[in-house]
Structure 1
Amino acid sequence: MDLVQYAWVVWLVVALVCFIIEMVTLEFTFLMIGMASVVGLVGSITHLPWWLQILVAAAAALLLLLLVRPKLLQRLHASGEVAKQGVEALIGMAGEVTRMFERGAGEVTLANGDVWTSRLAPTVRFRDLDVGERIVVTQIEGATALVVPAER
């Protein structure tokens, strides 16, 4: 049995894995590598020798990474469609107190469902917050959300 005749399966698996990773990272690198794998897949289907398939896929990856990816990133950033991720996404998020604040510290549930240990931000007058009171996150320090009472 000639394993080279099944090279298309390897190209397909590499492309699918890259596309799945791209959905998590959202930075276009794995998208370009996945597209280069599709080029390798086409080379396999057209019966190119395995070494030529690799060369063509590598050249496609290099071109896509150097020429296409920067333009896609530039267009994405220029459009303002870049979604904040991680801690940045929490700043300004609303929530409510789920465990009464005592001595300026308590627990809040944010609008996205996350539960955070929290403290009153130093920019507001010190007071304890009651359960159900609305808050807004102003900063994250480690695993603690600094919050202020929401304007009514």
Structure 2
Amino acid sequence: MEWLGDHLWAAWLVLAVALGAAEMLSLDLILLMLAVGALVGALVAVAGLPVVLQVLLAAGGATAMLALVRPNLIRRLHSGPELITGHNKLVGQQGVVTEQLSAHTTGRVKVGGEVWSAAPYDETLTIAPGAVVEVFAIRGATAYVHPVGELL
């Protein structure tokens, strides 16, 4: 028992390693934060401070890690690029008119390597074949497009 009193830092270090190893099984980042708290306890023990202070600082370090660091890590791990699937991925892309479009006749555009039935987004427009258009919306199987302005 006297050895433990003289080498309490080693007990804290063993606890930190055990919690770190257990984290490999859970992957929740909770045990890792507790392991950091145990490392704080080990550092305080190395400084020779009383056991009560070691426990309080270790608990405070673990609590601070759980409250301040873990939420940011979880948010960063779970976020990623926004994935747009289906026909919505065509909105904003440019295409070429293959059949004339007007408010009264649905034409065709080639967008993203596919041919879509299309209508002008602005119903007052007529868009000739060969015009470059941008897809503003897709409703059902019809792409609503608007001509891309040309720079002069």
Question: For residues 16 and 2 of structure 1, do their structure 2 counterparts lie closer, same or farther at Cα, with a shift above 3 Å needed?
Answer: closer
Q: Distance in 2 between matches of 1:77 and 1:51?
A: 37
Match of 2:49, SS state, is: coil
The residue that corresponds to 2:141 in the other structure is none
Q: Distance in 2 between matches of 1:76 and 1:17?
A: 24
Shift of the alpha carbon at 1:27? 1.1
Match of 2:78, SS state, is: helix
Letter in 2 for 1:11: W
Query: Does residue 54 of structure 1 match 2:55?
Result: yes
The residue that corresponds to 2:25 in the other structure is 24
Looking at CA atoms only, which structure, 1 or 2, has the larger radius of gyration? 2
> Percent sequence identity over matched residues?
38
RMSD: 1.3
Letter in 2 for 1:77: H
Deviations, residues 37-95 of structure 1 (Å, cap 9, x unaligned): 00100001110111100000000011111111111000000137xxxxxxxxxxxxxxx
Count of residue pairs the alignment pairs up? 80
**Residues 1-152 of structure 1 aligned to structure 2 (within 5 Å):** 1=2, 3-79=4-80
Q: Distance in 1 between matches of 2:33 and 2:55?
A: 15
Contact 1:36–1:57 under 8 Å retained in 2: yes
Shift of the alpha carbon at 1:3? 3.2
Q: Distance in 2 between matches of 1:37 and 1:79?
A: 32
Shift of the alpha carbon at 1:10? 1.1
Q: Distance in 1 between matches of 2:12 and 2:80?
A: 33
The residue that corresponds to 1:116 in the other structure is none
Contact 1:32–1:61 under 8 Å retained in 2: yes
TM-score by length of 1: 0.50
Contact 2:4–2:11 under 8 Å retained in 1: no
Letter in 1 for 2:32: L
Shift of the alpha carbon at 1:2? 5.7
Structure 1, unmatched stretches of 5+, are: 81-152
TM-score by length of 2: 0.50
Contact 1:11–1:40 under 8 Å retained in 2: yes
Q: Distance in 2 between matches of 1:54 and 1:23?
A: 24
Q: Distance in 1 between matches of 2:5 and 2:34?
A: 21
Shift of the alpha carbon at 1:11? 0.2
Deviations, residues 110-132 of structure 1 (Å, cap 9, x unaligned): xxxxxxxxxxxxxxxxxxxxxxx
Shift of the alpha carbon at 1:24? 1.1
